[in-house]
Structure 1
Amino acid sequence: MRLKEALGVLSKASPYAVSTIRKGKQPDEYKYKEYLYVEPEIATDFERKLVESNDNTILFLCGSSGDGKSEVLTRLCNKLEFQNIVFHLDATHGKTQHGTAVDSLNELFDTQKKQQCKLAVGINIGMFQKFIKFGSERHRDIKNMFTQFLKNRHEKGFQCGNAVFYDFETYPRLDFTKGRVESEFVARFLQALTSECDENPFHSLYIYEKKVESQLAFNFQLLREKDFQNALIYLFGVIRLYNEQFLVPRLFVDFIYQLLTAENKQGLIGNLFTHLDNQISEKIVLHDPLSKSNEVLDSFFLEYVTDSLSHETIKSINYLTKLAGCELENVNIARLAWVMNKEISQKFPNSKLVNLFPERSSVTYLDLYQRLVKNKFDHNDEDYLVELFEKNILESILNYINRKVPAELNGFVISRELNDFVICNKLEVELDLEYLEEKIFFSPDLLEIKFIVNQDVELFLNLDIKVFTLIQNIKNGYLPNRSLHNEFTKLDEFIRELINATSKTKEIRVFDKQGSDNLIAEAKKGRRGYTVSGSIF
């Protein structure tokens, strides 16, 4: 067997893509699938609960398609100590040709209630809502438990009545809490796949490919590099935050299969930023480091085409070419330099390839999230948050709102326009640090940031990485447009709420949008009423 055939067990077209109960002797390729299995923490917890729970308990293993529910339940079902437990591997499909999944669940719960047996069910999240709506009224108790679970999905091992729910979403495969993207699941899988040991059945096949100098051998070797693995994990995190693409095991292993085996004259790095037949790949190409130009990158391309690269830069290019196992085009030299930046920086510190790309907004966003998930802020955290939100984010938003007036509107915000004039309300905004310290942030998907406006009005910014990036771009002079849809809508909503929060201000100013002396009038409210100065005429 050649390496590509063995890697075929990872393909979505493989008969092993979905686990079923298999009996008897398995084909030779089954050993490759078994070797690569990474037992998730949820499987350990679910098994422990199977042992501890009483008879008449229903245990639900919940998740999305491809999460690995069938894999976990199949392995448990095959264990001798669980032969007295009823397993229902997939509650998404009906048992009969004309029956529905809801019909099958109705029958399953009928049997469970009659026999008072312990039941383990693999179920997609969408089936809960479907059963709540269409399930039989004789199972109203189970419907109510489903409703309670959906309200408490953030709780690991949520219990309600005689039901226990283990949800893959509470066992994330990507960790954003350390200021960077980490994944024990991906790291363990790639380490197993590429390890140089006799226990790894792929290793001997790789050795043969290396002898015949196949491109697959070079791809496999590059995937072994820690920097490449870290770049993959980072990209998985980016597409999770920007594109809501979850790291589903079935999609992930198929992506690795295509990444390694798809024919490409530019090798592994060419495949990484080429549109493969895989949802993860489709999202990754949207975050090609070359999608945004910069002065350093343009300078490298110019020196490359004019043959004016330094000796150390040429050495670094030769190093990357050797790693890739093929002659690389200049664009893929740049991409691979981005992936291998840490190693290039150490081996060739004066190369033009070092730090070709600026730090992305995602890095700052993850640094923010790392601080928000702390139980208690220290002084550095407080200073960082105040600087970021009050001096950076809010200042950028106010400059955007007030852009129609040439004058500095320090402490004021445009609330409305009247022909050639703008009316501005007094604005004082403070970040509510106490609220942020007490709030529990379950994920970086959406961060609810609280401000206090003019000392008494509460204001919330629903911040995600897209809105965060948009605000950073505004700071750099970019004017957003409605083609950005979701993030523009969220920012626009916050701007409206910010202006509304100043509606009861005690001080307003009127500015001329065109005149050289912009301040026309000012009104302040005191104990004896308003004091007005200046004149519109």
Structure 2
Amino acid sequence: MNRCKFIEKFNKLRKSSSNSIDNIQIFDGFRKYMHVIRATEMDLKKILSAVNLSGKKTLVLLCGSAGDGKSHLLSYLKNSDTDHLLDGYSVFNDATESNAPDKTAVETLCKRLEDFNDDNIGKPGSNAIIAINLGVLSNFIESEWALNFSFLRKYVKSSNIMTSEVTNTTYVDNSNFQHISFSDYHMFSMDKGKITPDYIEALFEKIASNDEKNEFYAAYTDDCSVCPLGSQCPIRMNYKFLTDAKVRHYIALMLVKVILKDKEILTTRELLNYIYDIVVAPGFDYAKFYKSSATPSLFLKEFLNCIMPSLLFDNVDISAIMNKTRKYDPLLNRNEAEDDIAIEYYVSDDVTKTVKSIVDESAYSSILCDPSYADIINEDKTVKSKLFNVLIRIRDLMNDNGYEEMFLKYISDLYNYNIGKTPKLASLYSDIEDAVMRWCGNEDDDNICIDDSHKNFAIYEDIKFDPFLDNIPSPSSSEKIEKFLPYVVAEFKNGNDAPIHIDIDYSLYELIEKLKAGYVQTAEDRNNHADFISFISKILKTGSSNESITILSETGQKAKLEKTKFGTYKFEVVK
């Protein structure tokens, strides 16, 4: 037996699978089962309902990036949605799809949208909906082909579709154009200052649930039960491990870290492929593995390499997502307590009790707690070392510890910003002020250093940090939000109309917190945070240097140079 029907089912999740690309004419049972209702779908359906009631010829733009679910949603609405909202629509699954290979993507799009150019927009016709990547849309509206699409171009510009701002996704009255952008939505929501990875967990649940329509679970219970390798198969055990809700939640929270901390774009297609990668070991060969089971030491080594705790963190360059998640390996959480655990394990002559205490309730207990493997585990240094890594990971995967304090603080400020709770952002603005002072250096009166290039003295100025709060999002009527910026925008007045703003992602937030606590920035910080340096440069221009400066000598003497009302300067030694 060289084929594994169970793995064949999982192949449907791979990016290379034909199942990863939706055809708007087909929505089979597998796609229907895997469908998860998202806020994107609900908002789009509201717009479509309003369009259908208006009687106005309308083009609906379904925008986003490759693999985020645009095609899947179109296919679902066209073939399976009971409301039949797309009846009578011209539906284009791919803006660049063409039967004329000699045409460019922009030319193809121009033809697709012909009924909505300036010459035809006022003429009767049917509604249309098109799935379009933001890059293609940007190229189109900036091209010469868009000269005859001035109304569409104006709509795209005014709707901020091409910006990082969260766009309005309600129906626009009396407009021939409507849109939904997948880039405004996330795989998680925020509720009362906490992260809920609902979409990620919903997809995990689809794959792991005991449901008669679930092809994966059916193969697990039927095909695997008659497989000669079934009781020893790491792939089957990986799936069983995934049926543990605590494990799924741990992985989902880790993926949220990858999105917010590492700014990795995680699409539905990438997520499904990731699930395949953490269940099916790369290059897994049924026959080879079956053969290894005849040699216990070889089998254990192969087994430990193929189980999920190893697949999650040991594989390099399998995918961009897996490269990022390796940073969150529980083995990297070094502290005195963890070091003591490692020392006790490695000096012990018999670790079977330790192994049993950690993995007894896991999917891997039948192998790792099998007495027949005890001698190998205790005596084979390679096996013992690899098993330690697995044990620490299983321990954490099955016992969710949530997020670390710094990340929780960031999420709280991110939530308060996006939900419009201005008073709760006061401490963040204070932290930014402290961070700027620490970065530049300050003296007793909290004046900020603007020039320390001189040998015997440094020059300081007074800066009044004046927050500009007018652009903070309006207060939300709901405590749960699903559309939000993944960073905080902080702004300060500069004396003119345009405020000085800084986008605070997690990396910069962490730096600000460290600076506030006394951390001294490094050359690497300066290289990684050019945006913060630019912000500081603009803030310094709002200071008092045109009117007054403080001069501090290396011996501690202090003097002030002030401009008088008569345009002359007054010099005074104050210390």
What TM-score, normalized to structure 2? 0.75
2:99 aligned residue: 95
- The yes-or-no answer on 1:201 pairing with 2:215 is yes
Q: Is the 8 A contact 1:145 1:163 kept in 2?
A: yes
Q: Pick from 85, 89, 94: which aligns with 1:85?
A: 89
Distance 1:278 1:315, change over 3 A: same
Classify the secondary structure of the residue corresponding to 1:509.
strand
Distance 1:341 1:519, change over 3 A: farther
1:190 aligned residue: 204
Classify the secondary structure of the residue corresponding to 1:329.
helix
Classify the secondary structure of the residue corresponding to 2:448.
strand
Query: Runs of 5+ in structure 1 lacking a partner?
Result: 343-354
1:283 CA drift (Å):
2.3
Aligned-partner residue type, residue 62 of structure 1: C
1:293 CA drift (Å):
3.6
Distance 1:69 1:340, change over 3 A: same
Classify the secondary structure of the residue corresponding to 2:195.
coil
Aligned equivalents of 1:436 and 1:161: distance in 2?
Answer: 28
Aligned equivalents of 2:409 and 2:475: distance in 1?
Answer: 20
| Matches for 1:476-515 after TM superposition, within 5 Å | 478-484=519-525, 487-504=528-545, 508-513=549-554, 515=555
Q: Pick from 236, 256, 261: which aligns with 1:237?
A: 256
Q: Pick from 128, 133, 155: which aligns with 1:145?
A: 155
Aligned equivalents of 1:306 and 1:50: distance in 2?
Answer: 66
Distance 1:306 1:420, change over 3 A: farther
Distance 1:507 1:447, change over 3 A: same
The answer to which of 207-216 and 179-188 deviates more is 207-216
- The yes-or-no answer on 1:330 pairing with 2:397 is no
2:460 aligned residue: 424
1:437 CA drift (Å):
7.7
1:173 aligned residue: 187
1:66 CA drift (Å):
0.8
Distance 1:450 1:44, change over 3 A: closer
Distance 1:494 1:130, change over 3 A: closer
Q: Residues 17-59 of structure 1: CA distance to partner in whole angstroms, max 9, x if unpaired?
A: 1011456xx9xxx644432222333334434544542252212
Aligned equivalents of 1:388 and 1:482: distance in 2?
Answer: 25
Q: Residues 106-128 of structure 1: CA distance to partner in whole angstroms, max 9, x if unpaired?
A: 22333564761221211111122
- The yes-or-no answer on 1:246 pairing with 2:265 is yes
Aligned equivalents of 2:44 and 2:439: distance in 1?
Answer: 51
Aligned equivalents of 1:508 and 1:312: distance in 2?
Answer: 69
2:398 aligned residue: 340
Aligned equivalents of 1:430 and 1:341: distance in 2?
Answer: 45
Q: Which has the higher contact order (CA 8 A, sep 6+)?
A: 2
1:76 aligned residue: 77
2:371 aligned residue: none
- The yes-or-no answer on 1:466 pairing with 2:507 is yes
Q: Residues 58-111 of structure 1: CA distance to partner in whole angstroms, max 9, x if unpaired?
A: 122111111222222223333695453221111123331211222223223335
1:351 aligned residue: none
Distance 1:519 1:243, change over 3 A: same
Q: Pick from 98, 108, 112: which aligns with 2:112?
A: 108
The answer to which of 76-85 and 135-144 deviates more is 76-85
- The yes-or-no answer on 1:11 pairing with 2:14 is yes
| Matches for 1:162-311 after TM superposition, within 5 Å | 162-208=176-222, 209=224, 212-262=231-281, 263=284, 265-266=304-305, 267-273=307-313, 274-275=315-316, 277-291=318-332, 293-307=334-348
What is the percent sequence identity of the aligned residues?
A: 19
Q: Pick from 139, 142, 162: which aligns with 1:130?
A: 139
Aligned equivalents of 2:504 and 2:69: distance in 1?
Answer: 31
Query: Runs of 5+ in structure 2 lacking a partner?
Result: 285-302, 369-385
Distance 1:522 1:147, change over 3 A: closer
1:65 aligned residue: 66
Distance 1:375 1:110, change over 3 A: closer
Distance 1:394 1:338, change over 3 A: farther
Q: Residues 168-196 of structure 1: CA distance to partner in whole angstroms, max 9, x if unpaired?
A: 12332222454333232222222222122
Aligned equivalents of 1:435 and 1:143: distance in 2?
Answer: 25
Q: Is the 8 A contact 1:176 1:444 kept in 2?
A: no
What TM-score, normalized to structure 1? 0.80
The answer to which of 426-435 and 156-165 deviates more is 426-435
2:572 aligned residue: 532
Distance 1:66 1:453, change over 3 A: closer
Distance 1:323 1:212, change over 3 A: closer
Classify the secondary structure of the residue corresponding to 2:513.
helix
Aligned-partner residue type, residue 416 of structure 2: R
Aligned equivalents of 1:310 and 1:78: distance in 2?
Answer: 57
Aligned equivalents of 1:125 and 1:437: distance in 2?
Answer: 24
Distance 1:194 1:501, change over 3 A: same
Aligned-partner residue type, residue 164 of structure 1: Q
1:248 CA drift (Å):
0.7
Distance 1:499 1:235, change over 3 A: same
Q: Residues 118-163 of structure 1: CA distance to partner in whole angstroms, max 9, x if unpaired?
A: 2121111112222221425333333333333445861114647311
Classify the secondary structure of the residue corresponding to 2:308.
helix
Q: How many residues align?
A: 503
The answer to which of 264-273 and 37-46 deviates more is 37-46
Q: Is the 8 A contact 1:461 1:494 kept in 2?
A: yes
Distance 1:104 1:504, change over 3 A: same
Distance 1:324 1:270, change over 3 A: farther
Classify the secondary structure of the residue corresponding to 1:135.
helix
Q: Is the 8 A contact 1:176 1:369 kept in 2?
A: no
Q: Residues 345-402 of structure 1: CA distance to partner in whole angstroms, max 9, x if unpaired?
A: xxxxxxxxxx7x9925322210112222344456xx3xxx444442x44334423422
1:348 aligned residue: none
The answer to which of 244-253 and 264-273 deviates more is 264-273
1:427 CA drift (Å):
4.3
